Amino acid sequence: MPKNFLSELTGSFATPALENPTGVMMEAAYRDLGLDWRYINCEIQPDDLKNAVLGAKAMNWRGFNCSIPHKVSVISHLDDLGESARIIGAVNTVVNRDGKLIGENTDGRGFVESVKSSLELIKKRVVLFGAGGAARAVAVELALAGVANIIIVNRNQERGEELAKLVADNTSAGAEYHAWTKQYQIPAETDLVINVTSIGLFPNVDAELDIDTDFIKSSMVVADGIFNPPETRLIQTAKTKGCTTVNGLGMLVQQGAIAFEYWTEKTPSIEVMKAALSDALDITEK
Ligand code: NDP
């Protein structure tokens, strides 16, 4: 049997790519399973995206992630889309299936996976802050996972209303937009509160959501999409109220794990990925 020196290739196309730690957790998981796979973090300008995709196809890459600013524009270079990517209108993971490039979106499923052990989602009532790319993915996947209703709270009204309509038109969940009034009051019957805005993201770690914290009840599960730092102000406040909390590290690792499974058809170790990521980002969970 001749030796095989040909690694399988995966990677990421984004700009800026400098601070993207995904390769560290992916390669740790490849090594852990004894796979000779690589993850190449590429700095790709918008004008070069088409050639980058053609290059990946020519080199028989098994797949790649897309991040800012390519999640929407990559779609025109792909052969087909998975169901949730089609509804969300954005792709963060491309899978090479028998030479065809298929766009998937694992951001929202990653969030659903990360919250599932803390809350059974069927028929639950959700308040979601944000209406950007990640919020769209999270809202659509929560709806597909069976929540009853999602209230979208967003600073920009048009974007918020558009997301509520997207969920209501494409899934069986109810969805409505709430204007983000000063000291927003979370409805008492809410089961799950999620921040998918960039408020609190490093380096603005002291930034807080404009909400009346008296309306955070201990019965609510409170989650944050932000993973750097994992302990956002929102998570800290929710802990003092006695809530179960879910930080953004779980979402980051789980969306990567789902991409890993799409590419390799194997299940990675979440612990190995989480440890590699925490190490790379120099963060410790409290
Ligand atoms: P976008 O730029 O697409 O959206 C940003 C969102 O934040 C919008 O809803 C925007 O509101 C809101 N926002 C930003 N600043 C403020 C402010 N000062 N006051 C009120 N609202 C504000 O970003 P993404 O959706 O891609 O990312 C959002 C967050 O999710 C980021 O923090 C990112 O780190 C995190 N994320 C985490 C992932 C994970 O795996 N854990 C994966 C992907 C993202 P408006 O519409 O009014 O501008």
Q: pLDDT tens digits, residue range 266-283?
A: 999 999 999 999 899 887
Query: Do 221 and 247 meet the contact criterion of CB atoms below 8 Å apart?
Result: no
Mean pLDDT, the chain, rounded, equals 95
Q: Are residues 82 and 163 in the same domain?
A: no
Query: Do 128 and 140 meet the contact criterion of CB atoms below 8 Å apart?
Result: no
Q: How far apart are CA 26 and CA 4, in angstroms?
A: 21
Whether 197 lines ligand 1, by a CB cut-off of 6 Å, is: yes
Domain span at 171: 108-246
Q: pLDDT tens digits, residue range 222-256?
A: 999 998 889 999 999 999 999 999 999 999 999 99
Q: By alpha-carbon position, which residue is closest to atom 1 of ligand 1?
A: 132
Q: Are residues 74 and 152 in the same domain?
A: no
Q: Are residues 257 and 213 in the same domain?
A: no
Q: pLDDT tens digits, residue range 132-158?
A: 989 999 999 999 999 999 999 999 999
153: which strand partners? 129, 178
Query: Do 130 and 154 meet the contact criterion of CB atoms below 8 Å apart?
Result: yes
282 annotated to a ligand binding site: no
Number of domains in the chain: 2
Q: Of 71, 100, 165, 182, which residue is the catalytic one?
A: 71
- The reply to whether 197 falls in a domain is yes
- The confidence band for 286, taking pLDDT boundaries of 50, 70 and 90, is low
Percent of the chain with pLDDT over 70: 99
- The reply to whether 3 falls in a domain is no
Ligand 1 centre from 200 Cα, in Å?
10
Q: By alpha-carbon position, which residue is closest to atom 12 of ligand 1?
A: 197
Residue 86, domain CATH: 3.40.50.10860
Q: How far apart are CA 74 and CA 91, in angstroms?
A: 7
pLDDT at residue 49 tops 70 = yes
Q: How far apart are CA 109 and CA 167, in angstroms?
A: 15
pLDDT for 3 equals 86
57 catalytic, yes or no?
no
H or E element that contains 222: strand 221-224
- The confidence band for 1, taking pLDDT boundaries of 50, 70 and 90, is confident
Query: Do 140 and 170 meet the contact criterion of CB atoms below 8 Å apart?
Result: yes
pLDDT for 68 equals 87
Q: Which of 67, 198, 204, 231 to mutate to test the pocket of ligand 1 (most atoms within 8 A of CB)?
A: 198
Instruction: Compute the average pLDDT of residues 92-118.
Output: 96
pLDDT for 285 equals 59
pLDDT at residue 202 tops 90 = no
Q: By alpha-carbon position, which residue is closest to atom 44 of ligand 1?
A: 134
Q: Are residues 125 and 72 in the same domain?
A: no
Question: What ligand 1 atom has the least distance to the C-alpha of 156?
Answer: 47
pLDDT at residue 178 tops 60 = yes
Ligand 1 centre from 7 Cα, in Å?
36
Q: Are residues 216 and 97 in the same domain?
A: no
Whether 225 lines ligand 1, by a CB cut-off of 6 Å, is: yes
Ligand 1 centre from 26 Cα, in Å?
24
- The reply to whether 286 falls in a domain is no
ipTM exceeds 0.95? yes
